[in-house]
């Protein structure tokens, strides 16, 4: 199972909105409604930000939103803040009870 494709890096200024894409295939992203997004600071454990494509766990800011179209899922962060600077990973269920992650995207807040 190949990793999902994410841009290596994205950047934005405070207050702006950015979108991170996550491209897979019909066997993973396109085939299921089980895409998740994780935020990770250096040296720390990942944190679940979005699950089931567009749902937010309790406590996660509503500045974070998720969507999917075909084989590509997207994470949008609006009203960008300095604390959003981190690595972001997408993940998808692939069937056969296995999961695949994206390669990760480094978000820089300018």
Partner 1 sequence: EVQLVESGGGLVQPGGSLRLSCAVSGFTFSDHYMDWVRQAPGKGLEWVGRSRNKGNSFTTEYAASVKGRFTISRDDSKNSLYLQMNSLKTEDTAVYFCVRAYDNSGYSLGYWGQGTLVTVSS
- Burial class (CB within 10 angstroms; exposed 0-12, middle 13-18, buried 19+) of 1: middle
Site residues (CB under 8 A) for partner 1, limited to 88-107: 89, 91, 93, 96-104
Site residues (CB under 8 A) for partner 1, limited to 59-88: none
Site residues (CB under 8 A) for partner 1, limited to 8-67: 34, 36, 38, 44-48, 51-52, 57
- Chain positions contacting partner 1, by CB under 8 A: 1, 3, 34, 36, 38, 44-48, 51-52, 57, 89, 91, 93, 96-104
């Amino acid at each position: 199972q190949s990793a999902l494709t994410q841009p290596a890096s994205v950047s934005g200024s405070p207050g702006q909105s950015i979108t991170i894409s996550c491209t897979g295939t019909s066997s993973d992203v396109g085939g299921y409604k089980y895409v998740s997004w994780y935020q990770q600071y250096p040296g720390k454990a990942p944190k679940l930000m979005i699950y089931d494509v567009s749902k937010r766990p309790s406590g996660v800011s509503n500045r974070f939103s998720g969507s999917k179209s075909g084989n590509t899922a997207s994470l949008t962060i609006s009203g960008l803040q300095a604390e959003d600077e981190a690595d972001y990973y997408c993940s998808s269920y692939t069937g056969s009870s296995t999961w695949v992650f994206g390669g990760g995207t480094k978000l820089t807040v300018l």
